[in-house]
Structure 1
Amino acid sequence: PRASEPAIGPICRNPLDPARTAGGSSGGAAAAVAAGIVAIAHATDAGGSIRVPAACCGLVGMKPTRGAIPGGPSFGNHLAGIASELAICRSVRDTALIFDRLSGKSRGPFPDPSPVDIDNRRLRIGLLVDTGSAYPTEDDRLAVVEDAARALESDGYEIVPLTWSEFEWSVAASGGTFADIVSVNLAALIKAAALDESRAEPLTQAFAARGRTLPATSLWKTLDDAVLVSRKLWALFDRVDCMLIPMLSSAPLAIGSFPTDHADTDLHLERMTAFAPLACLANISGFPALTLPFGQDEHAMPLPVQIMAPMGHEPRLLSLAARLEAEGRWQHRFPVAGLPS
């Protein structure tokens, strides 16, 4: 809004530390669930927008396989397929239940998921505990990923070390694809709805302008890169059955760390990637990914981990998440309103 106009609403703060962000873009959903206002809240994930807020607030968030959740006739190709809908929850149980109830029969551009039985053989767990020098992750957040791997190893699963070099190109390509798709989509939305762009904040205007000036050949190249990202992940899943990787590079940042009062889109995207280096990878590739807390840091903020599985293997993802959740390394701070504490 303009300086003379009222804001849309108050700042969305993290219930675990009001000086910190609740994440985005489904930060309001995560804040409501973490505060106990509701037990579950709808959320969408186009670049980590379910998983990042869930990770910030000590919750469970899953981005399903592309096309697994119906989007409706006017929403089925939202953001060229990189966006998925589901919910932010307080437990793996609730996540599994809502996925079971909502998935399938999307009648969209992607095939419905086929139920995949949980494979009880000795799974190979790919372990990544490095996010490169450009996007370093704090030691305690890498250590908790390794802790989660050791917990699964104690069940007989095989741990397969992975290196940042196996992800680096895909992370960069995913960020570029995300930027182009979001920019073009925003420009098209403003035109189709005849919105008054001058009333938007500077960063929104800058992304719309970026979308209007992006050549079709550049958009085609970035969409082609998305296919290659997916193929590279499939190649990794030839060696492993699931991947255990970092979710956030640090504790939730201070309120104001992602300002929108400027027009530097590259800077904003760089800040997003630095905070969650591996978030966008699942959106661009189409693979399912889930985050859950697996401990807390010295400031009592959650230490999240992220699990990725091959397309259509949400049962495997949820099974491993339930196993880690059973360790009891995180307790919700606020009870759900109206329920016994």
Structure 2
Amino acid sequence: AAAVAAGIVAIAHATDAGGSMRVPAACCGLFGLKASRGAIAAGPSFGNHLGGIASELALCRSVRDLAVIFNAAAGRARGPFADPWFAPSPPDPLRVGLLLETGDQYPTEPARSEAVEEAARALEADGHSVVPMYWDAFAASVATSGRALRDIIAVNLANFVVSAGLDAGRSERLTQAFINHGSQLQATALWATLGDAVHASHAVWSLFDRVDCILTPMLASAPLPIGSFPFDHDDIDLQIRRMTAFAPLATLANATGFPALTLPFGADDAGLPLPVQILAPMGGDRLLIELAARLEREGRWQHRFAVAGIPE
């Protein structure tokens, strides 16, 4: 993300299992799309499958670039899920869900909520209707998504250590804690976590009975200083809470499978991007790209650096 934002490269491959594409994009004023589950090939050999929560695509400086790479990479994934049917854009006007607050446990700073509200007003000016939404409708699914990320990552790490013949004792304390959790997790407990994620996905589907897309904060605060997520402890639940506190609605899209796109929509007093996130029903990836293109035209964010080798 830093390399793309600095103009060292124009586009860069990225993966997203719990926000790992959208959160860096949001920190750096980029566009990042976690595609619908099954939309992008999980290659090679499904090495980054992670039970369906991971998605691969790219970090981009523009919607134009994001659309090009999505159209080139989407479809023909050849399993393990069916290719999603990419829905055409619903007829205008859209019903735009608007979530501004992220609960007392994971509060979002006012400036970041205001950017989300301004994005909604820009769409409202085009004739779309804005439907207020509230954290209570998301809180349980967000909690479930955090547990799913925790357990899937832990089991994956434990399996990787064994299959690769690695010495887990040489890893950092937090990594060791995740490995220990994964190696000790009973199959029935993991099965229950995966089942909860299915119910969370159904709950999010229900939200789309009322709206065609949902605008939310991407980050609860400005990008945090290096060292804010230390690995010198063994409290894996604390790590998940810290991640959720920074990006309250990042993991929700991974655990439930829905597409989610982040884009910059302004800058704060320090010149750092004010990102927003848009969620859509399964297969609504192109709707997200269309909405991002519309918001990009507002001109709320400008890159500081040109792409190396391209004349300004």
What TM-score comes out, normalization by structure 2 length? 0.98
Contact 1:73 1:108 in 2 (8 A): no
In the alignment, the residues of structure 2 paired with residue 286 and residue 298 of structure 1 have an alpha-carbon distance, to the nearest angstrom, of 35
What is aligned with 1:261? 232
Question: How many residue pairs end up in the alignment?
Answer: 312
What is aligned with 1:83? 54
Q: CA deviation at 1:125?
A: 0.3
Please, what is the CA RMSD of the aligned residues?
1.0
What is aligned with 1:119? 90
Give secondary structure in 2 for the equivalent of 1:113.
Answer: coil
Q: Deviations over 1:155-194 (max 9, x none)?
A: 0001000011000100001101110110011001111111
Give secondary structure in 2 for the equivalent of 1:74.
Answer: coil
Between 1 and 2, higher relative CO (CA 8 Å, sep ≥ 6) is seen in 2
Q: CA deviation at 1:115?
A: 3.6
What TM-score comes out, normalization by structure 1 length? 0.90
Which of 18, 37, 44 is matched with 1:47 structurally? 18
Q: Deviations over 1:293-339 (max 9, x none)?
A: 00000100000000000011111111011000000000001110001
In the alignment, the residues of structure 2 paired with residue 165 and residue 68 of structure 1 have an alpha-carbon distance, to the nearest angstrom, of 29
Residue identity matched to 2:310 = L
Residue identity matched to 1:328 = G
Q: Deviations over 1:260-286 (max 9, x none)?
A: 122121111111010000000000000
CA pair 101-66 structure 1, distance change in 2 beyond 3 A: same
Q: CA deviation at 1:215?
A: 1.2
Q: CA deviation at 1:66?
A: 0.5
What is aligned with 1:62? 33
Give secondary structure in 1 for the equivalent of 2:32.
Answer: strand
2:247 aligned with 1:276: yes
Q: CA deviation at 1:117?
A: 2.0
Residue identity matched to 2:286 = P
CA pair 268-241 structure 1, distance change in 2 beyond 3 A: same
2:228 aligned with 1:233: no
Residue identity matched to 2:17 = A
Residue identity matched to 1:154 = A
What is aligned with 1:323? 294
In the alignment, the residues of structure 1 paired with residue 15 and residue 47 of structure 2 have an alpha-carbon distance, to the nearest angstrom, of 13
Which of 145, 161, 168 is matched with 1:190 structurally? 161
Gaps of 5+ in 1: 1-29
The alignment-based identity, stated in percent, is 65
How do 1:281-320 residues align onto structure 2 when only pairs under 5 Å count? 281-320=252-291
Residue identity matched to 2:37 = R
Contact 2:229 2:242 in 1 (8 A): yes
CA pair 76-197 structure 1, distance change in 2 beyond 3 A: closer
Contact 2:90 2:212 in 1 (8 A): no
Q: CA deviation at 1:234?
A: 0.6
Residue identity matched to 1:47 = G
Contact 2:106 2:220 in 1 (8 A): yes
Contact 1:203 1:265 in 2 (8 A): yes
In the alignment, the residues of structure 1 paired with residue 283 and residue 12 of structure 2 have an alpha-carbon distance, to the nearest angstrom, of 23
CA pair 212-243 structure 1, distance change in 2 beyond 3 A: same
Gaps of 5+ in 2: none
Residue identity matched to 1:220 = W
Contact 1:70 1:76 in 2 (8 A): no
What is aligned with 2:45? 74
Residue identity matched to 2:128 = Y
2:115 aligned with 1:136: no
Contact 2:8 2:307 in 1 (8 A): yes
In the alignment, the residues of structure 2 paired with residue 256 and residue 145 of structure 1 have an alpha-carbon distance, to the nearest angstrom, of 28
Contact 2:7 2:308 in 1 (8 A): yes
Give secondary structure in 2 for the equivalent of 1:209.
Answer: helix
Give secondary structure in 1 for the equivalent of 2:158.
Answer: helix
Runs of 4+ in structure 1 off by over 3 angstroms are none
